[in-house]
Amino acid sequence: MSDAADPRRWRALMVSQIAAFMSLLDVSIVNVALPSIERDLGASAATAQWVVSGYALAFGLVLVAAGRLGDAFGRRRMFLVALSAFVLTSVLSGAAPSIGLLIGARLLQGVAGGLLIPQNSGLIQDLFRGAERGRAFGIMGATVGLSTATGPVVGGLILSAFTGPDGWRWIFYVNIPIGLVGLVLAARLLPRTAARRDAHRTHLDLVGSLLLGGGVLALLLPVVHGETGSLGGWWPLFAVAVAMLFAFVRWEARTIRRGRQPLIDPQLAHTPGYATGSGIGLLYFVGFTGIWLVLALFFQDGLGYPPLHSGLAVTPFALGAAASAAVAGRLVSRVGRWLTVYGLTAVIVGLLATALALAHVGGTAAAWAAAVPLLLAGVGGGMVTSPNLTLSLQNVPVRMAGVAGGALQTAQRIGAAVGTAVLATIFYRILATTGHRYPDAISRTLLCAAGFMALALLVALADALRQPSGAESRAAVTG
C-alpha cells in the first residue's frame, strides 16, 4: 500500500493508539487504587487481586479470537464494537456496589480490551510497508510499555483529584470521555475494509480458548490464595492446570488434523523472530506487570504514602521508558535483537539497585533513593517492549496480521496475569513470615521479578547470538 493510496494512515494510527493506551492503562492504573478498593468494599487482599489479574487474564484469552474476527470482518468494524464495549464496561466497573460485581465487570472489561488490541497490529500491517511499518510497530510498542508504566502515576493523580472512600471509581469513569472521543475519531479516520466472503466460516476455536483459559485460571487460583503460606484446599488445582494445558495441546493438534484453524497457528512458529519474541514477551511481563502492584502496596501500606505520592514515586520508570522507547523504535532496524538484550540488562540492574535501596532507606527518602535505579530500569524497559514487538511481527504475512498480533499479546497478558498474582503472593507471604517488615518484602519481591527478567534475557541473548550482525533485521524491516 503506497503513501498516496492511504494518506490518513498516520492519523489512523494515532486514533488506534489512543484507544490501545486506554485499554492497556487499565492493567496497571488499578494497582494504586487497590488499597482504597479493599477498604471501601471490605475485600480481602486475595480477592482484590482479581480486580487486576482477572482483567489481564480475560484480556489475554480473547486476543487471538479477536484478531481472527478482525481479519474476517474488518478491522474498523471490530475496533468500533470493541471500543463501545470498553466504554460500557468502564461504566459498570465504576458503578459496582460490591467486590464480586466489580470483579465481574472487570472480566467483561478485559474481554472488551482484548477485542480492541489486535485490531491495532492488524491496522499497522494493512496500512504500512517497509521502514514505515517498523516505525509504526515501534510506536505501538512504546504505547504498550508506557501505558503500563504510567498507570500508577495517572491513578495517583485521579485519586488525588477525587478524594473520599469511593474516589477509586473515577479510575474507571475517566475512560468514558476518552472512549467517546475515540469512537468519533475512529469512525472518521479508520479505513473501511470489506468483510471476507467466507467470514461466516471463520473458526474461532472456542474449545481451545476455554482449555487454555481454564488451565491458566487453575494455575492462578492457588497462587493468589496461597498468600498466607498455606495452599489449603487449593493445591489440587495445580494438577487440574496441568491436565487442562495438556488437553489444550492435544486439542490444537486435533484441530490442525481436521483442517481447521487452531487458536495458535503453527505457521507462526516458523516465522522468523515470532516464537522468540513471544517467549521474551511472556517472561518479561511476568516480571514487569506485578512490580507496580507491590510497589503501590509498599509505598501506601508500608510507608503511608498517599496514592499520588505513591504514583509519583515510580514516575522515573515512566520517564525513562518514554525517552528510550522513542529512540529504540528508530534503532531496532540497525541493532536488531541486541537492543532487547541491552534493555533487559538495564532493567535487571535497575531492579536489583531498587531492591537494595528500598531495603535500607525508609520514609520520604525511600522514593528519592529508588529514583535513579527506577529511571535506569525504565530506560531498559523502553528498549524491550517496542523493539520486541517490531522484531516479533515484522515478518508476519499480512493475511495473518490479526491472529499474530493477538497471539503475541496473549503471551504478554497471560504473563501479566500470572506475574501480578505471583509477585503479590510473594510479597504478602514474606510480610507474614517477617512480622510485617515491608522493606524485606519489597526487596525480596523485586529480586524475584529480576529473576523472571533474567530468564527473558537468556532467551534474547540466545537469539541475538544466532544473528549477531543484525543484518537480517535490517533487511526485514526495510525490505
153 & 244 share domain: no
Tell me the percentage of the chain whose pLDDT exceeds 90.
28
Predicted pLDDT of residue 430: 92
Give the pLDDT confidence of 315-356 residue by residue, as tens digits.
899 888 878 877 887 787 788 889 999 999 999 999 999 999
**In this structure, which amino acid lies at residue 337?**
R
1 in any annotated domain: no
Is the Cβ–Cβ distance between 76 and 21 less than 8 Å?
A: no
Q: Looking at 223, 247, 262, which one is the last position of a domain?
A: 262
Give the pLDDT confidence of 9-45 residue by residue, as tens digits.
888 888 888 888 888 888 778 888 888 898 899 888 7
276 in any annotated domain: yes
| Global pTM value | 0.77
Domain count, the chain: 2
Q: What is the mean pLDDT of residues 450-465?
A: 93
Predicted pLDDT of residue 473: 43
Is the pLDDT at 311 greater than 70? The verdict is yes
Is the Cβ–Cβ distance between 122 and 137 less than 8 Å?
A: no
54 & 183 share domain: yes
14 & 29 share domain: yes
- CA–CA gap between residue 260 and residue 255 (Å, rounded): 5
139 & 257 share domain: no
Is the pLDDT at 471 greater than 50? The verdict is no
Is the pLDDT at 253 greater than 60? The verdict is yes
Q: How confident is the model at residue 81 (pLDDT cuts 50, 70, 90)?
A: very high
**In this structure, which amino acid lies at residue 5?**
A
User: If DSSP codes are grouped into helix, strand and coil, which group holds residue 165?
Assistant: coil
C-alpha cell at 50: 482479581
- CA-wise closest residue to 431 among 422, 441, 439, 423: 441
Other residues' Cβ atoms within 10 Å of the Cβ of residue 436: 12
End-to-end CA distance of the chain: 14
- CA–CA gap between residue 411 and residue 124 (Å, rounded): 20
Task: Output the domain CATH number for residue 314.
Answer: 1.20.1250.20
Predicted pLDDT of residue 169: 94
Residue that the C-alpha cell 514477551 belongs to:
281
Other residues' Cβ atoms within 10 Å of the Cβ of residue 7: 9
Four-CA torsion 206, 278, 471, 139, nearest 10 degrees = 90
Predicted pLDDT of residue 54: 83
Predicted pLDDT of residue 173: 93
201 in any annotated domain: no
**In this structure, which amino acid lies at residue 10?**
W
Predicted pLDDT of residue 6: 66
Give the pLDDT confidence of 379-419 residue by residue, as tens digits.
999 899 878 887 887 777 766 666 677 678 778 878 887 88
Q: Which domain holds residue 85?
A: 9-190+263-478
288 & 363 share domain: yes
- CA-wise closest residue to 174 among 186, 163, 162, 164: 162
C-alpha cell at 403: 491472529
Q: What is the mean pLDDT of residues 423-443?
A: 90
161 & 29 share domain: yes
C-alpha cell at 63: 486476543
Sign of CA dihedral 75, 415, 324, 277: negative
Burial of 391 (0-12, 13-18, 19+ CB in 10 A): buried
437 & 365 share domain: yes
- CA-wise closest residue to 322 among 143, 151, 124: 143
